[in-house]
Amino acid sequence: MRYYLVAGEASGDLHGANLMRALKENDAEASFRFFGGDKMLAEGGTLVKHYSDMAYMGFAEVVVNLRTILRNMRTCKQDILAHQPDALILIDFPGFNLKIADFAKKKGIKVYYYISPKVWAWNQKRVLKIKKVVDQLFCILPFEVEFYKSWGMDVDYVGNPLLDEISRFKPNPNFLQQNLITTKPVIALLPGSRVQEIERLLPVMLSLTDRLPDHHFVIAAAPAFSEAYYQQFIGDKNVTLVFNQTYDLLHVATAAIVASGTATLETALFKVPQVVVYKGSAISIAIARMVVNIRFISLVNLIMDKKVVEELIQEDCNPTMVYSQLTPLLKGEKRDAQLQAYEVLAEKMGKPGASDRTAKLIISSLHKG
């Protein structure tokens, strides 16, 4: 079968790569074209557009980069038409992918959506649109099944693909030595994979290096950026930068400061106490506060339906607040409480196998016609 996948950010690249691997295991003739990243490219096929040219966060940023977004959308539509895939698999990234789904459905192409758009967060009526343009929807968060059911839509809960990736992880015993990391306790900094995230969050994260000299700070760098790019923020601080070693970093970390997103869940599954941070443009945040109807922004808190990790958003995301929330996680009762909550979270998430379950459901659907 010919599969066309569209992923628009780092997490989508990770999940897309896992799904491609599972599709190959279940379909010996699988071939791929995709919008994605390096992880998907490593699985084979043709990379049409890298996600680093596509990922814009926030309402204002989308408006500013609208011309580029529309050009990417046009390229995607033309390429799908030119290659006529048996299946179009869209991975999260709803602002872009729901429009691609609408286009493909009208052209008679089977549309599968892997990792539900977060329509439960805002504008829930988008479910009606999804019902029209998506043939099959695969959810990775336990509470999403009941949400869609309340809108009269049956979906498949396949588990969470992060568990697949983590289950395959084998720690590098020489990670600390190879990266010249001292014997001090490690604090992991995960500032995200998009320019806006890094530029707004990394300076706040790095401000703690002077306040916690007895800890070694290590940045999990996004592969789409160079060492020189990060160095402009690091300056002369004694901070280590690692590429493509996020899981090794989490494996040895004592605590972490994490940009809101998939990384918050990864950090929790590695049992690392964390503070979650987020900063957007003033306009984007103002709009979000008007339209978003969820209590939390981090996946950890959303899945647990209570505050497990501290969320410092916008004006609260400042050096003083981050320091005050991080230090109790280094030892003591607050650290222990978060680690205990992580155990419950792990039970809720279930077992690995999401990618394989999704691949089998897609292939079965295609064979049915």
Summarize pLDDT for 321-369 with one digit per residue, the tens: 999 999 999 999 999 999 999 999 999 888 899 999 999 999 999 999 7
| Residue 62: pLDDT band with limits 50, 70, 90 | low
CATH class (in words) of the domain with range 168-349: alpha beta
Residue 327 confidence (pLDDT): 97
- Taking the C-alpha atoms of residue 4 and residue 37, their distance in angstroms, rounded to an integer, is 14
Calculate what percentage of the chain has a pLDDT beyond 90: 75
Say which range, 108-122, 153-167, 206-220, 276-290, has the weakest mean pLDDT: 276-290
Contact 303, 159 (CB under 8 A): no
Residue 197's pLDDT band (cuts 50, 70, 90): very high
Between 296 and 112, the more confident residue is 112
Considering the chain, what percentage of its residues have pLDDT values greater than 70? 93
pLDDT at position 59, please?
52
Query: Max Cα separation, the chain?
Result: 62
Domain ranges, ordered by start, for the chain: 2-159+353-368, 168-349
How confident is the model at residue 190, as a pLDDT? 98
Give 2-31 pLDDT, tens digit per residue: 999 999 988 899 899 999 999 999 999 999
DSSP collapsed to 3 states, 303-353 = HHCCCCCEEEEHHHCCHHHHHHHHHHHCCCHHHHHHHHHHHHHHHHHCCCC
Give the mean model confidence (pLDDT) for residues 165-186.
Answer: 93
Q: Which residues pair with 217 in a beta bridge?
A: 187, 239
Q: At 117, is the pLDDT very low, low, confident or very high (cuts 50, 70, 90)? A: confident
The confidence score (pLDDT) of residue 287 equals 52
For the chain, what is the mean pLDDT?
91
- pLDDT score at 284: 57
Q: Are 99 and 20 in contact (CB under 8 A)?
A: no
Backbone angles phi, psi at 35, to 5 degrees: -95, 120
Q: Do domains 2-159+353-368 and 168-349 have the same CATH topology?
A: yes
pLDDT of residue 121: 75
So what's the architecture of 2-159+353-368 in CATH?
Answer: 3-Layer(aba) Sandwich (3.40)
pLDDT given for residue 14 in this prediction: 87
Q: How far is 175 from 154, CA to CA, in rounded Å?
A: 45
